[in-house]
């Protein structure tokens, strides 16, 4: 009798334990399937970004800038000031300092500004906008130090020396002998420096150059579906396009993902600066091409080229996604419902994807870089499936933009 009672009791206990395990598992699943709020996601990611960049700051040589991390070699990649990405590391440090008040990152940023300062005189690089606007542009916005303002104006004038009146554009590369006078879609991003300087004492001509460049790009870089060619090569005598081609994409008629991202960001920024509705419409049309593209995966992280032949096995490009999310958040500022909501939602999906373990490095790993899985220049086998400073920069910018505008 007692024995039967004990067996029954043990069976009841087992049942209870089983019930608790099932319930815990079920509630655990329920919890993890509930979405983290954007406020929580952004705060958590900004703070983990600070921790990562403190790791990075400890590794980096004093005269270098952070360029990326190569997981295949388990090595950080650094650069000197002349590399087109030299402004992103100080820029990211400044954005993180602004968001969290971390004094160590501020100190590191100010130190790195001195490393790239002399780039203000560089007239052989169209990427002076990336370099100086992302670094000194943020520094001036935050600290209001007039020395930074002067550096920005000198930089804008250096960039303006690359303007070619016959084609009404800034020449992109000098190094690339495959082209006569190449203008790349990426160059839209450098116009922000000219616009800023034009509005801040640098003279009307700088604004005119930016507007002319944007108008020429609008005329010659886009296809009827609003995807863009990477490179338009011009005849400097006639001012006409000679060839439309790619350098970093799959082929001349493909839509290289980061190129589409630069176009989206660039025309959104030009609308902010000029209020010309033509630029706003262009940005909306580019957004439509990207967001309605049948080759855009559900996590909204694009393959490195929308026409990569091995989709769905092609590599994705986190850097393009980061730029797109930041651009969409700004585009939403200038649009009405229901488009506004769609842009914010898409940017939110990208930020959630980039914040997942797939793209975000575990704390203390990845050489201190935040995002994994970017593609620099696939056809050249350069920086393929690595971490890149500009992916981190635009990811941080998007997080801070979301926080400022939508929380």
Q: Is 127 a catalytic residue?
A: yes
Of the candidates 171, 191, 167, 194, the residue with the CA atom closest to the CA atom of residue 183: 171
Catalytic position from the list 127, 233, 385, 392:
127
Q: Among residues 45 and 248, whose Cβ is nearest to ligand GLY?
A: 248
Q: Which of 266, 284, 89 is nearest to 192 (CA)?
A: 266
Strands lying side by side in the sheet with 241-245: 182-184, 231-234, 241-245
| Residue closer to ligand GLY, measured from CB, 322 or 332 | 322
Closest CB to ligand GLY among residues 330, 383: 383
**Which residue number, 186 or 330, has a Cβ lying nearer to ligand GLY?**
186
Cα atoms in the 13 Å half-sphere on the side-chain side of 111 = 14
- Minimum distance from residue 405 beta carbon to ligand GLY (Å): 25
Q: How far is the CB of 217 from ligand GLY (least distance, A)?
A: 14
Residue 376 CB, shortest distance to ligand GLY, in Å, is 6
182-184 and 382-388 beta bridge pairing: unpaired
Nearer Cβ to ligand GLY (168/230) = 230
Q: In the structure encoding, which two tokens stand for residue 168, read together?
A: 């009404």
User: Minimum distance between the CB of residue 248 and ligand GLY, rounded to whole angstroms?
Assistant: 6
Six-digit token string for 367? 């050489």
- b/e map 221-230, b = 16+ CB within 10 Å: bbeeebbbbb
Q: Does residue 162 interact with ligand GLY by CB under 6 A?
A: no
The 8-class DSSP code of residue 315 comes to P
Q: How far is the CB of 68 from ligand GLY (least distance, A)?
A: 12
Pick the catalytic residue: 43, 174, 186, 385? Answer: 186
Asked if 258 touches ligand GLY (CB under 6 A), the answer is: yes
Q: How far is the CB of 141 from ligand GLY (least distance, A)?
A: 23
* Cβ proximity to ligand GLY, 198 vs 249, nearer residue: 249
Angle, in degrees to the nearest 10, between helices 191-199 and 204-220: 150
Instruction: Compute φ and ψ for 165, nearest 5 degrees.
Output: -60, -35
β-pairing verdict for 75-79 and 163-164: unpaired
Q: Which of 83, 55, 52 is nearest to 67 (CA)?
A: 83
Q: State in angstroms the smallest separation of the CB of 258 from ligand GLY.
A: 5
Residue 186 makes contact with ligand GLY by CB under 6 A: yes
Q: Examine residue 126 and tell whether it contacts ligand GLY (CB under 6 A).
A: no
Residues 219-248 that bind ligand GLY (CB under 6 A): 248
Does residue 317 touch ligand GLY according to CB under 6 A? no
State the Cα–Cα distance between residues 126 and 254, nearest whole angstrom.
Answer: 23
* Pick 86 or 248: Cβ nearer ligand GLY: 248
- The residue nearest ligand GLY at its CB is 186
All residues at 6 or more sequence positions from 297 whose CB lies less than 8 Å from its CB, including other chains: 303, 312, 316
| Tokens describing residue 154 | 């000198």
Using CB under 6 A as the binding criterion, the count of chain residues that bind ligand GLY stands at 4
CB nearer to ligand GLY: give 186 or 195: 186
Binding mask 360-379 for ligand GLY (x = CB under 6 A): ----------------x---
Cβ distance 119 to 81 under 8 Å? yes
Question: Which residues are within 8 A (CB) of 162 and not within 5 positions of it... i.e. 6 or more apart?
Answer: 123, 126, 170, 171
Cα 174 to Cα 31, 123, 124: the distances in Å are: 55, 10, 7
Q: Give the nearest distance from C-beta 85 to ligand GLY in angstroms.
A: 8
Task: Please identify every residue annotated as catalytic.
Answer: 127, 186
Residues of this chain that interact with ligand GLY (CB under 6 A) are: 186, 248, 258, 376
């Amino acid at each position: 009798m007692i024995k039967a009672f004990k067996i029954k009791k043990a069976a009841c206990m087992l049942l209870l334990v089983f019930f608790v395990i099932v319930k815990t598992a079920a509630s655990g699943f329920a919890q993890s399937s509930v979405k983290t709020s954007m406020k929580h996601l952004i705060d958590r990611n900004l703070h983990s970004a600070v921790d990562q960049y403190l790791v990075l700051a400890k590794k980096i040589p004093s005269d270098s800038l952070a360029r990326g991390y190569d997981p295949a070699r388990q090595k950080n990649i650094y650069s000197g000031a002349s590399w087109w990405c030299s402004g992103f590391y100080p820029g990211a440090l400044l954005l993180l300092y602004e968001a969290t008040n971390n004094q160590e990152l501020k100190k590191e940023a100010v130190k790195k500004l001195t490393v790239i300062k002399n780039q203000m005189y560089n007239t052989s690089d169209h990427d002076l906008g990336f370099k100086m606007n992302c670094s000194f542009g943020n520094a001036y916005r935050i600290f209001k130090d007039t020395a930074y303002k002067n550096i920005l104006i000198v930089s804008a004038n250096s960039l303006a020396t690359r303007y070619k009146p016959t084609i009404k554009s800034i020449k992109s590369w000098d190094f690339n002998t495959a082209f006569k006078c190449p203008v790349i879609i990426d160059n839209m991003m450098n116009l922000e420096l000219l616009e800023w300087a034009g509005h801040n004492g640098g003279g009307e001509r700088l604004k005119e150059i930016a507007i002319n460049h944007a108008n020429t790009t609008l005329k010659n870089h886009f296809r009827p579906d609003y995807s863009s060619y990477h490179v338009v090569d011009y005849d400097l005598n006639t001012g006409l396009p000679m060839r439309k081609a790619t350098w970093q994409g799959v082929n001349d008629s493909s839509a290289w993902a980061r190129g589409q991202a630069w176009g989206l960001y660039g025309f959104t920024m030009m609308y902010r600066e000029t209020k010309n509705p033509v630029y706003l419409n262009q940005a909306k049309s580019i957004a439509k091409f990207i967001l309605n593209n049948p080759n855009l995966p559900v996590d909204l992280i694009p393959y490195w080229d929308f026409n990569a032949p091995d989709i769905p096995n092609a590599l994705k490009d986190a850097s393009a996604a980061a730029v797109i999310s930041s651009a969409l958040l700004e585009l939403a500022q200038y649009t009405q419902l229901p488009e506004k909501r769609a842009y914010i939602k898409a940017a939110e999906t990208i930020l959630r994807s980039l914040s997942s373990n797939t793209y975000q490095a575990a704390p203390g790993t990845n050489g201190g870089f935040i995002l994994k899985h970017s593609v620099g220049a696939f056809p050249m086998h350069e920086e393929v499936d690595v971490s890149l400073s500009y992916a981190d920069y635009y990811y941080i910018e998007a997080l801070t933009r979301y926080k400022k505008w939508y929380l």
